[in-house]
């Protein structure tokens, strides 16, 4: 049960990233946020439903044809989480070294800067091997619907072929 939920969320996370990449390439820069869930994903953006549906369909087809690079995004919150964890651990280690206060603070700042720099490629690796899965064989688009009171949220529902 848990394995199935995690697997479907990872696939939907990949499709969310690919959809946003297609949307940005077609519509240009805009504010957009996505959030994957086991049965699909949410897109928070001011975009017409038909435009979004077309982007989801294109993204799904491209992933299914092997464009796995679309599953990993430099805009993903995973990158921020990895940066935060690395910066926190690096700072903790630097501050716990027993040196004089100023040396510890400068060491903590340096450690945080190095960690944030390292987080960019590490965040993408975490996405590639942990939080997304570009294997969307058998996945199909079920629906794209506006939800919520303000009209700028869409729920994209997907389904996988029965195992």
Kindly tell me if the per-residue pLDDT of 99 is higher than 70: no
Q: Which listed CATH number (3.30.980.10, 3.30.43.10, 3.90.1150.10, 3.40.50.1240) goes with 2-72+132-160?
A: 3.30.980.10
Pair 67, 15: CB distance under 8 Å: no
Kindly tell me if the per-residue pLDDT of 90 is higher than 90: no
Q: Is 4 exposed, middle or buried (0-12, 13-18, 19+ CB in 10 A)?
A: exposed
Pair 40, 158: CB distance under 8 Å: yes
Residue 125's alpha-carbon distances to 34, 42, 72, 80, 139, in angstroms, are 19, 23, 9, 13, 24
Residue 133: predicted pLDDT: 97
Pair 153, 146: CB distance under 8 Å: yes
Q: CA-CA distance, 139 to 55, in Å (whole number)?
A: 15
Kindly tell me if the per-residue pLDDT of 142 is higher than 80: yes
More confident position, 82 or 148: 82
Average per-residue pLDDT in the chain?
92
Query: Residue 140 in 3-state DSSP?
Result: strand
Q: CA-CA distance, 63 to 81, in Å (whole number)?
A: 25
Kindly report the pTM of this predicted structure.
0.89
Query: What percentage of the chain reaches a pLDDT higher than 90?
Result: 77
Of the pLDDT bands very low, low, confident and very high (cuts 50, 70, 90), residue 139 is very high
**153-160, strands of its sheet edge to edge:** 33-37, 40-44, 153-160, 139-147
Q: CA-CA distance, 12 to 133, in Å (whole number)?
A: 8
- Domain extents in the chain: 2-72+132-160, 77-128
Query: Residue 139 in 3-state DSSP?
Result: strand
């Amino acid at each position: 049960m848990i394995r199935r939920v995690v697997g479907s969320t990872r696939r939907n996370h990949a499709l969310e990233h690919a959809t946003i990449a297609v949307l940005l390439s077609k519509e240009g820069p805009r504010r957009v946020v996505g959030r994957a869930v086991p049965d699909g994903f949410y897109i928070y953006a001011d975009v017409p439903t038909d435009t979004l549906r077309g982007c989801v369909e294109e993204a799904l087809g491209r992933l299914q044809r092997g464009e796995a690079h679309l599953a990993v995004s430099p805009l993903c919150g995973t990158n921020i989480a990895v940066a935060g964890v690395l910066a926190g651990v690096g700072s903790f280690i630097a501050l716990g070294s027993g040196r004089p206060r100023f040396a510890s603070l400068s060491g903590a700042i340096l450690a945080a800067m190095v960690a944030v720099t390292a987080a960019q490629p590490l965040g993408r690796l975490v996405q590639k091997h942990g939080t997304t899965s570009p294997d969307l064989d058998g996945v199909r688009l079920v629906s794209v619907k506006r939800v919520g009171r303000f009209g700028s949220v869409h729920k994209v529902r997907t389904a996988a072929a029965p195992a």
